[in-house]
Amino acid sequence: MIYKRSSALFKEAQKVIPGGVNSPVRAFTAVGGEPIFVEKAKGAYLYDADGNKLIDYINSWGPLILGHAHEPVVKAVVESAEKGTSFGTPTEIETEIASLAVSMVPNIDKIRFVNSGTEACMSAVRLARGFTGKDKIIKFAGCYHGHSDSFLIQAGSGAVTFGTPNSPGVTGGTAKDTLLADFNDLNNVAEVISENKDEIACIILEPVAGNMGCIPPAKDFLEGLRKLCDENNILLIFDEVMTGFRLAKGGVQELYGVDADIVTFGKVIGGGLPVGAFAARAEIMSHLAPEGPVYQAGTLSGNPLAMAAGLAMLSELNNNPEIFTSLEKKTEYLHKGLASVLTEANVTHTINRIGSMISVHFSETPVTDFKTAALGNNDTFKKFFHGLLAEGVYIAPSAFETWFLTEALTYKDLDATIEACSKVAKTL
C-alpha cells in the first residue's frame, strides 16, 4: 500500500490542527506511523486519499452498524438538509425519534438529545447529583465516558478514597468527587461505597466495556451493582454510548435483564451524525430544566439533520431485529477464524466477543478488567495492526479498542480478513 498523499495531508494538518487530528486516537500514537486520510466510504469499505480500499472494522468508532453511507440514512439527511439545517425551535422529528427510542429501550420514559456521548454522560451525572443531592460518583478503571473533567480521573494513592486527575487542566477539586473501582469486582465496589457512605450519587459504567478492548460483565456483576445501588440510594448509570442499539434493540438492559436508572447513548443513535442522548424514568427526568432545576442545554441539540439520520437508523433496527442475530453470527465466524489462524501460527492470544463487538488481546490470561487488558503485548499488537493495514484491513489503532462489525460486511469480507490475519500471524 502507498500512503503518499495521506502522509502529505497529515503534514499539512499538523501545521494548523494540534497533532493533525481532531481526536487524539486518530493520530496512530499508540501504534506508531501516520494516520490514513479517508476520502470516502461505502458499505464495508473505506477509500483513502491514495486510492487504497480498506475493509473497515472501526466504522467511525461504532455508529455505522449498517455500514458506511447507508442509503436510507443518506436520503434522510439530504431531504432534511434541503428544508434547513437548524432552527433552534422544537421540531416534530425530535418527538418521533424520542418516542421510538423510548419504545425500544426498557425502563425509560423520557430522553434528552445532546450532541455527543461526552455530553450525554456529563449531563447524566449532573442529573444524578441533582436528583440525589449527593456529590461523589464511582467510575471504573478502564471505562471511558468521554472527555468531561469528572471522567478524566485515575486511581490515586488510596483508590478507595478518591482519584487524581489524569490530564492537566482537571482540578484536584473535581477529582476528589470521582471514586475509582475495578471492573467486575463487586467486593471492591462495596468497599468504596462503605468508605464513602451516603456521599455517592451514582455509579457510572460501560455495562459491557468497550474501551479496554471488549470486556463483558462477569456473571452477576450487573445484578450485584443494581443491588448495591438499591441498598445505598445510589443511581446506576449504564453508559450505552457504544452498546446502545448495537448489542440489542434495548441494549445491555435488555440483554442482561438488569435495569439502570439512567442510560446514556451516542454513536448508533445518531446514524453517523453528532448525537448523544440520556434517558431515564419520568420521575428522574422531571428534574431536568425546564421541568426541573437541573440545568442542561444545547444550541444544536436535536438538530434536524442529526435527528433524521438517527431516526432512519433506529427505524431500520427496530423493523429488522434479525440484524442483531445476523451480526452476532458474523462476529462469531470472525472470532473462530481469527482464533484458528492465530493458534496455527502459535501466537498467544485471547479473544473477547459479544454481539458485534470483538477484541484480540495478545495475552495468555483472560481479559476481564483494566489490569488484565494492560497485560497484552503491545509490540505484537503494533505489528498486527500494521500487518493487517498493509493487507487492506483497518482495525482500531490501539490495543485497548474494540472492533465493530457492520451488517454491510459479507462473509467474503470476513474470509479476506481471516486470510489477512493468517498471513500477518506468521510474521508475529
Q: Which amino acid is at 7?
A: S
Residues that bind ligand PLP (rule: CB under 6 A) add up to a total of 16
Q: According to the binding rule CB under 6 A, does residue 126 interact with ligand PLP?
A: no
Per-residue b or e along 291-307, where b marks 16 or more CB atoms closer than 10 Å to that residue's CB = eeebebeeebbbbbbbb
**Binding range to ligand PLP, per CB under 6 A, among 77-85, 139-147, 342-350, 404-412:** 139-147
Answer yes or no: are the C-beta atoms of 212 and 373 closer than 8 Å: yes
Please indicate whether residue 267 is annotated as part of the active site.
Answer: yes
**Binding-site member from 145, 246, 249, 361 for ligand PLP (CB under 6 A):** 145
Whole-number minimum distance, CB 57 to ligand PLP, in Å? Answer: 15
Nearer to ligand PLP, 121 or 312 (CB): 121
Which one of 177, 239, 369, 413 is the catalytic residue? 239
Nearer to ligand PLP, 201 or 242 (CB): 242
Q: According to the binding rule CB under 6 A, does residue 118 interact with ligand PLP?
A: yes
Side by side, the strands of the sheet bearing 350-354 are 350-354, 357-361, 403-404
Nearer to ligand PLP, 45 or 61 (CB): 61
Q: According to the binding rule CB under 6 A, does residue 211 interact with ligand PLP?
A: yes
Q: Secondary structure of the chain: what % helix, strand, coil (to 5)?
A: 40, 20, 40
Residue 232, classed as helix, strand or coil, is helix
Alpha-carbon distances, residue 195 vs 50, 179, 189, 302, 415 (angstroms): 56, 10, 10, 40, 52
Whole-number minimum distance, CB 108 to ligand PLP, in Å? Answer: 17
**Binding range to ligand PLP, per CB under 6 A, among 14-22, 144-152, 222-230, 302-310:** 144-152
Of residues 29, 58, 118, the one with CA closest to residue 14: 29
Bridge partners (DSSP) of residue 45 are 42, 55
Whole-number minimum distance, CB 400 to ligand PLP, in Å? Answer: 11
Task: Give me 131's grid cell.
Answer: 436528583
**Binding range to ligand PLP, per CB under 6 A, among 154-162, 219-227, 237-245, 320-328:** 237-245
Side by side, the strands of the sheet bearing 136-140 are 110-114, 276-280, 262-265, 235-239, 200-205, 136-140, 178-181
Q: What angle do CA 98, 63, 57 make, to 5 degrees?
A: 160
Chain residue whose CB lies nearest ligand PLP? 117
Among positive and negative, which fits the CA dihedral 71, 75, 78, 81?
Answer: negative
Whole-number minimum distance, CB 272 to ligand PLP, in Å? Answer: 12
**Binding-site member from 20, 67, 117, 376 for ligand PLP (CB under 6 A):** 117
298-327 residues in contact with ligand PLP (CB under 6 A) are none
Alpha-carbon distances, residue 226 vs 35, 109, 383 (angstroms): 41, 19, 41
Answer yes or no: are the C-beta atoms of 265 and 242 closer than 8 Å: no
Whole-number minimum distance, CB 120 to ligand PLP, in Å? Answer: 7
**Binding-site member from 61, 256, 265, 370 for ligand PLP (CB under 6 A):** 61
Please indicate whether residue 45 is annotated as part of the active site.
Answer: no
Which one of 3, 144, 256, 394 is the catalytic residue? 144
Nearer to ligand PLP, 107 or 123 (CB): 123
Q: According to the binding rule CB under 6 A, does residue 68 interact with ligand PLP?
A: no
Whole-number minimum distance, CB 210 to ligand PLP, in Å? Answer: 6
Q: According to the binding rule CB under 6 A, does residue 48 interact with ligand PLP?
A: no
Q: According to the binding rule CB under 6 A, does residue 114 interact with ligand PLP?
A: no
Which one of 110, 136, 267, 382 is the catalytic residue? 267
Whole-number minimum distance, CB 27 to ligand PLP, in Å? Answer: 15
**Binding-site member from 130, 163, 217, 266 for ligand PLP (CB under 6 A):** 266
Nearer to ligand PLP, 3 or 394 (CB): 394
Answer yes or no: are the C-beta atoms of 239 and 210 closer than 8 Å: no
Distance CA 217, CA 222 (A): 7
Q: According to the binding rule CB under 6 A, does residue 262 interact with ligand PLP?
A: no
Of residues 138, 151, 128, the one with CA closest to residue 185: 138
Per-residue b or e along 66-104, where b marks 16 or more CB atoms closer than 10 Å to that residue's CB = bbbebeebeebbeebeeeeeeeeeebebbebbbebbeeb
Q: According to the binding rule CB under 6 A, does residue 146 interact with ligand PLP?
A: yes
Nearer to ligand PLP, 210 or 387 (CB): 210
Distance CA 255, CA 251 (A): 6
Distance CA 188, CA 1 (A): 48
Q: According to the binding rule CB under 6 A, does residue 242 interact with ligand PLP?
A: yes
Provide the H-helix boundaries in 257-321: 282-285, 304-319
Which residues sit at the interface with ligand PLP, rule CB under 6 A? 61, 116-118, 121, 144-146, 206, 210-211, 239, 241-242, 266, 276
Residues designated as active site:
144, 239, 267
